[in-house]
Structure 1
Amino acid sequence: MTRLDEFSGRLAFALDDFQQRACVALEAGHGVLVCAPTGAGKTIVGEFAVHLALTSGTKCFYTTPIKALSNQKYADLVAVYGSDSVGLLTGDNSINPHAPVVVMTTEVVRNMIYANSRALDGLSYVVMDEVHFLADRFRGAVWEEVILHLDPSVRVVSLSATVSNAEEFGDWIQAVRGDTTVIVDEHRPVPLSQHMLVGTRMFDLFEPAHPSVTRSAAKRPARREVNPELKRYIRHRMLLADDSDGRSRGGGRRGGGPRGHRRGGARGPSRPDLVSRLDREGLLPAIGFIFSRVGCDAALTQCLRSGIHLLTPDEAQTVDAVVDRHLEELSPTDEEILGVEEWRAGLRRGFAAHHAGLLPTFRHAVEELFVHGLVKMVFATETLALGINMPARTVVLERLVKFNGEAHVDLTPGEFTQLTGRAGRRGIDIEGHAVVVWTAETVPDQVAGLAGARTFPLRSSFQPEYNMAVNLLGRLGLAGSRELLNRSFAQFQADRSVVGQARKVDDAQRRLRKLDLELIRAAEDRGLEPGGALAEDPSGNDEDFDEADAADAQPYGGFLGYVQLREDIRRRERDLKFERRAAHNQSTVADLAALKRGHVIGLHGGRHRGIAVVLEPAAQSVDPKPLVLAQDAWCGRVGSRDFVNPPQVLGNMRLPKHVDRRTGRGRRDLASALRSTGIEMPRGRSKKRAAAADDRELGRLRSTLRAHPAHRLDGSDDLFRLAERRNRVVREIVSAERVITERTSTLGVQFDRIVAVLAELGYIEIASDRSGAEQVTVTASGELLSRIYSESDLLVVECIRAGVWDRLAPHELAAVVAAMVFEARRESFAGADAMPGNAALRRALADTVDIWRALTALESRHRVDATREPDTGFSVAVSLWASGRTLTESLAAAGERGQLLSPGDFVRWNRQVVDLLEQIRLCVGPGTRLADSARAAVAGIRRGVVAAELG
Structure 2
Amino acid sequence: MTSSEAGTAPLPDPLPESVTAFAGDYGFPLDDFQLRAACAVDAGRGVLVCAPTGSGKTVVGEFAVHLALERGGACFYTTPIKALSNQKFHDLVARYGEDHVGLLTGDVSINGDAPIVVMTTEVLRNMVYAGSDRLDNLTHVVMDEVHFLADPSRGPVWEEVILNLDPSVVLVSLSATVSNAEEFGGWLTTVRGATDLIITTHRPVPLDQFMMVDKQILPLNDPTHPEEANRAVIAAAARAEETGRRTGPKRTDVVHRMGAAGMLPAIYFIFSRAGCDGAVRQLLVDRVRLTTDADRDEILRTVDEGVQDIPTDDLGVLGFRQWRRALGNGYAAHHAGMLPAFRHIVEDLFTRGLLKVCFATETLALGINMPARSVVLEKLVKYNGEAHVELTPGQYTQLTGRAGRRGIDTQGNAVVLWSRGIEPHSVAHLAGTRTYPLDSTFRPGYNMAVNLIATKGYTDAQRILDRSFAQYQTATHVVEQATQLTRRRRDLAGLEKDLAAELRSQHTEHTATDVIEYAGLRRDLALAERKAKRDSGNQREKEISNLLSSLSVGDIIALPTGNNPDIAVVVRSDSDHRHPRPWIVVEDGWCGPVAPESFGNVPVPLGHMKLHKNAGRSPKRNARAVASNLRRQRVERPKKLKMKAGGGSSREAAVLRDKVHMHPVHSLRNREDLVRPAERVVAARRTLDRELEAVTPDSETLSATFDHILDLLVELDYVEYSGSVTAADREGLQVTAEGHRLSRIHHESDLLVAQCLRRGIWDDLDPAELAAAVSTVVFENRREATGRHTTEVPTEALAAAVTAVGRIHGELVSDEGRHGLPLTREPQTGFVTALHQWTAGAPLDYCLQAAEAAGAQLTPGDFVRWCNRVIDLLEQIKHTGYADSVKATARKAVPAIRRGVVELGATS
**Please, what TM-score do these two structures have when normalized by structure 2?**
0.77
Q: CA deviation at 1:633?
A: 13
Is the 1:231–1:444 Cα contact (8 Å) retained in structure 2?
yes
Q: CA deviation at 1:898?
A: 8.3
Q: Verify: 1:320 aligned to 2:276, yes or no.
A: no
Partner of 2:797: 840
Q: Verify: 1:237 aligned to 2:240, yes or no.
A: yes
Partner of 1:883: 840
Change in Cα spacing, 1:859 to 1:269, as seen in structure 2 (3 Å) is: same
Partner of 2:519: none
Stretch deviating more after TM superposition (39-48 or 750-759):
750-759
Partner of 2:593: none
Q: Deviations over 1:98-156 (max 9, x none)?
A: 00000001111011111111111111111010111111111111111111111111111
**Which structure 2 residues correspond to residues 579-728 of structure 1 after superposition, within 5 A?**
none
Q: CA deviation at 1:520?
A: 12
Letter aligned with residue 392 of structure 1: A
CA distance, structure 1, for counterparts of residue 76 and residue 838 of structure 2: 35
Q: CA deviation at 1:209?
A: 2.7
Q: Verify: 1:163 aligned to 2:149, yes or no.
A: no
Q: CA deviation at 1:343?
A: 1.2
Partner of 1:933: 889
Equivalent position to 1:799, from 756, 759, 766: 756
Change in Cα spacing, 1:715 to 1:388, as seen in structure 2 (3 Å) is: same
**Which structure 2 residues correspond to residues 345-364 of structure 1 after superposition, within 5 A?**
345-364=325-344
CA distance, structure 2, for counterparts of residue 225 and residue 22 of structure 1: 41
Q: Helix, strand or coil for the counterpart of 1:895?
A: helix
Q: Verify: 1:857 aligned to 2:814, yes or no.
A: yes
Letter aligned with residue 196 of structure 2: T
Equivalent position to 2:152, from 101, 120, 137: 137
Equivalent residues, number = 754
Partner of 1:228: 231
Is the 1:226–1:448 Cα contact (8 Å) retained in structure 2?
no
Q: Verify: 1:13 aligned to 2:36, yes or no.
A: no
Partner of 1:42: 57
CA distance, structure 1, for counterparts of residue 335 and residue 269 of structure 2: 10
CA distance, structure 1, for counterparts of residue 423 and residue 500 of structure 2: 54
Letter aligned with residue 886 of structure 1: P
CA distance, structure 1, for counterparts of residue 224 and residue 428 of structure 2: 15
Q: Helix, strand or coil for the counterpart of 1:872?
A: coil
Letter aligned with residue 169 of structure 2: V
**Which structure 2 residues correspond to residues 501-580 of structure 1 after superposition, within 5 A?**
501-507=481-487
Change in Cα spacing, 1:831 to 1:755, as seen in structure 2 (3 Å) is: farther
Q: Verify: 1:474 aligned to 2:477, yes or no.
A: no
Q: CA deviation at 1:810?
A: 0.8
Partner of 1:383: 363
Q: Which runs of 4+ in 1 moved over 3 A?
A: 223-226, 504-526, 562-567, 714-741, 766-773, 829-835, 896-900
Change in Cα spacing, 1:509 to 1:383, as seen in structure 2 (3 Å) is: closer
Partner of 2:430: 450
Is the 1:823–1:829 Cα contact (8 Å) retained in structure 2?
no
Q: Verify: 1:909 aligned to 2:866, yes or no.
A: yes
Partner of 2:773: 816
Q: Helix, strand or coil for the counterpart of 2:456?
A: helix
Q: CA deviation at 1:161?
A: 0.6
Q: Which runs of 5+ in 1 are unaligned?
A: 211-222, 243-260, 527-561, 568-606, 608-631, 635-686, 689-713
Q: Verify: 1:29 aligned to 2:44, yes or no.
A: yes
**Please, what TM-score do these two structures have when normalized by structure 1?**
0.73
Q: Deviations over 1:914-944 (max 9, x none)?
A: 000010111127x800100101111211111
Q: Verify: 1:3 aligned to 2:18, yes or no.
A: yes
**Which structure 2 residues correspond to residues 153-302 of structure 1 after superposition, within 5 A?**
153-210=168-225, 227-239=230-242, 241-242=243-244, 261-262=245-246, 267-302=247-282
Task: Give the RMSD, CA atoms, in angstroms.
Answer: 3.7
Q: Helix, strand or coil for the counterpart of 1:402?
A: strand
Q: CA deviation at 1:355?
A: 0.6
Change in Cα spacing, 1:509 to 1:271, as seen in structure 2 (3 Å) is: closer
Q: Helix, strand or coil for the counterpart of 1:158?
A: strand
Q: Which runs of 5+ in 2 are unaligned?
A: 1-15, 517-541, 543-575, 579-650, 653-668
Change in Cα spacing, 1:226 to 1:465, as seen in structure 2 (3 Å) is: farther
Is the 2:462–2:703 Cα contact (8 Å) retained in structure 1?
yes
Change in Cα spacing, 1:204 to 1:732, as seen in structure 2 (3 Å) is: closer
Q: Deviations over 1:320-351 (max 9, x none)?
A: 22112211321222222222222111111111
Q: Deviations over 1:40-78 (max 9, x none)?
A: 000000000000000000010000111110000000000
CA distance, structure 1, for counterparts of residue 230 and residue 577 of structure 2: 50
Is the 2:790–2:853 Cα contact (8 Å) retained in structure 1?
no
Change in Cα spacing, 1:773 to 1:328, as seen in structure 2 (3 Å) is: same
Stretch deviating more after TM superposition (114-123 or 906-915):
114-123
Letter aligned with residue 49 of structure 2: V
Letter aligned with residue 70 of structure 2: T
CA distance, structure 1, for counterparts of residue 20 and residue 401 of structure 2: 30
CA distance, structure 2, for counterparts of residue 378 and residue 785 of structure 1: 43
Change in Cα spacing, 1:238 to 1:757, as seen in structure 2 (3 Å) is: same
Q: CA deviation at 1:882?
A: 0.7
Equivalent position to 1:79, from 94, 114, 125: 94
CA distance, structure 2, for counterparts of residue 493 and residue 301 of structure 1: 48
Equivalent position to 1:943, from 895, 899, 907: 899
Change in Cα spacing, 1:731 to 1:425, as seen in structure 2 (3 Å) is: closer
Is the 1:64–1:104 Cα contact (8 Å) retained in structure 2?
yes
Q: Deviations over 1:292-311 (max 9, x none)?
A: 11111111011112232221
Q: Helix, strand or coil for the counterpart of 1:796?
A: helix
Equivalent position to 2:387, from 404, 407, 412: 407
Change in Cα spacing, 1:451 to 1:839, as seen in structure 2 (3 Å) is: same
CA distance, structure 2, for counterparts of residue 831 and residue 459 of structure 1: 41
Q: Helix, strand or coil for the counterpart of 1:894?
A: helix
Letter aligned with residue 708 of structure 2: R
Equivalent position to 1:755, from 685, 698, 710: 710
Q: Deviations over 1:156-183 (max 9, x none)?
A: 1110111111111111111111100001
Change in Cα spacing, 1:733 to 1:413, as seen in structure 2 (3 Å) is: closer
Q: Verify: 1:88 aligned to 2:103, yes or no.
A: yes
Letter aligned with residue 262 of structure 2: G
Q: Helix, strand or coil for the counterpart of 1:820?
A: coil
Q: Verify: 1:344 aligned to 2:324, yes or no.
A: yes
Q: Deviations over 1:850-886 (max 9, x none)?
A: 1111111111111211111110101111111111111
Change in Cα spacing, 1:771 to 1:423, as seen in structure 2 (3 Å) is: closer
Q: Helix, strand or coil for the counterpart of 1:821?
A: coil
Change in Cα spacing, 1:428 to 1:724, as seen in structure 2 (3 Å) is: closer
Letter aligned with residue 232 of structure 1: A
Partner of 1:433: 413
**Which structure 2 residues correspond to residues 735-746 of structure 1 after superposition, within 5 A?**
742-746=697-701
Is the 2:381–2:388 Cα contact (8 Å) retained in structure 1?
yes
Q: Helix, strand or coil for the counterpart of 1:742?
A: coil
CA distance, structure 2, for counterparts of residue 450 and residue 739 of structure 1: 27
Q: CA deviation at 1:830?
A: 11
CA distance, structure 1, for counterparts of residue 790 and residue 803 of structure 2: 8
Is the 2:781–2:856 Cα contact (8 Å) retained in structure 1?
no
CA distance, structure 2, for counterparts of residue 349 and residue 835 of structure 1: 44
Change in Cα spacing, 1:11 to 1:766, as seen in structure 2 (3 Å) is: same
Letter aligned with residue 224 of structure 2: A
Q: Helix, strand or coil for the counterpart of 2:815?
A: helix
CA distance, structure 2, for counterparts of residue 333 and residue 840 of structure 1: 31
